[in-house]
Amino acid sequence: MAVGLAGVVAALIGSGHVTVAEMVPHRAVYSLTMGKGDTSGRFVNVGGAVKMVLEKTCDAWIIAEQINMHIDTQVGGRLLQDLKYTGWESLDGRQYRFAAHSRINNESKKFMGKAQSDLNQPGEAVYSKPKKMKMLLPPGTRFYFGLTSWLIERARSGATRAETVVFDGTDEEGPQRAVAFIIALEKNSGAVDNGLGPLVDRPGWSMRIAFYPIDGRGAAPDYEVQAVILDNGVAPKMELVFTNFTAIQKLEKIEALELPKC
């Protein structure tokens, strides 16, 4: 489940109708709380916070993210999950470098490497940690930032369903198939807290995104997320859907960062 959370958050902070110049560099803080209750009765509460920074340079997007989450159990235990992630993605979405350090209670894992993608031929991911290994990426694989940008492009074109392949490097599972169902937000729908300022007072969409193993044949996804994604790339709310319960990631604070002078 920790891998699922890391992958979802990493994958959703992030060409046609939308260009990278329209995406907004920003710093944000999110709270984590429990959504729908645990049907198994094992987990009784979720808490924590997410801090993220999205910066733009003259040749790339740089993402830094820290996730601290705890899940309380019915018998009085506490599951601690932490993730520190840094990613570098070229403006054309073809080159990617990643580093992630995840911890579940006392078990720690580190992942580091680089990847490249091509629209017309397979790409490649090369890990240096936790061990040296390579894996092929299907043509057109999208990375951390590119997924959000592409979803906004599809949403603006009027698409109600979108499917692609994504890779973030926060685990050893490799690329995943992402399937999104898209619904435009109605004005004054209440889906977004406009008290957070102009970065959040924007049109956007509600997206239900399911993540599957790239070669999986089962009908059930590994995990899902219900996200509000605005047309500037800001995601003010996400509901992370696990097997027995959901966790709500809600934007609490946001500020714009300066664009580079190139």
**Residue that the structure tokens 């369903």 belong to:** 161
Which range among 117-121, 195-199, 217-221 has the greatest average pLDDT?
117-121
pLDDT of amino acid 189: 62
Cα 77 to Cα 46: distance, rounded to the nearest angstrom = 12
**Portion of the chain with pLDDT greater than 90, in percent:** 63
CB neighbours of 82 closer than 8 A, spacing ≥ 6?
A: 66, 67, 68, 69, 102, 103
Q: Are 28 and 254 in contact (CB under 8 A)?
A: yes
pLDDT at 169 over 50: yes
**Mean pLDDT computed over 175-199:** 83
pLDDT of amino acid 19: 42
The string of pLDDT tens digits covering residues 84-106 is 999 999 999 999 999 999 998 88
pLDDT at 17 over 50: no
pLDDT at 2 over 60: no
**Residue 221, φ and ψ in degrees, nearest 5:** -75, 165
The string of pLDDT tens digits covering residues 120-161 is 999 999 999 999 999 999 999 999 888 988 999 999 999 999
Higher pLDDT, 159 or 218: 159
pLDDT at 175 over 90: yes
The mean of the pLDDT values for the chain is 87
The string of pLDDT tens digits covering residues 62-80 is 999 999 999 998 888 898 9
**Mean pLDDT computed over 2-22:** 44
CB neighbours of 31 closer than 8 A, spacing ≥ 6?
A: 48, 49, 50, 248, 249, 250, 252
Residue 183 carries which side chain, given as an amino acid letter?
Answer: I
pLDDT of amino acid 191: 63
pLDDT at 53 over 60: yes
pLDDT of amino acid 232: 92
First to last CA, the chain: 41
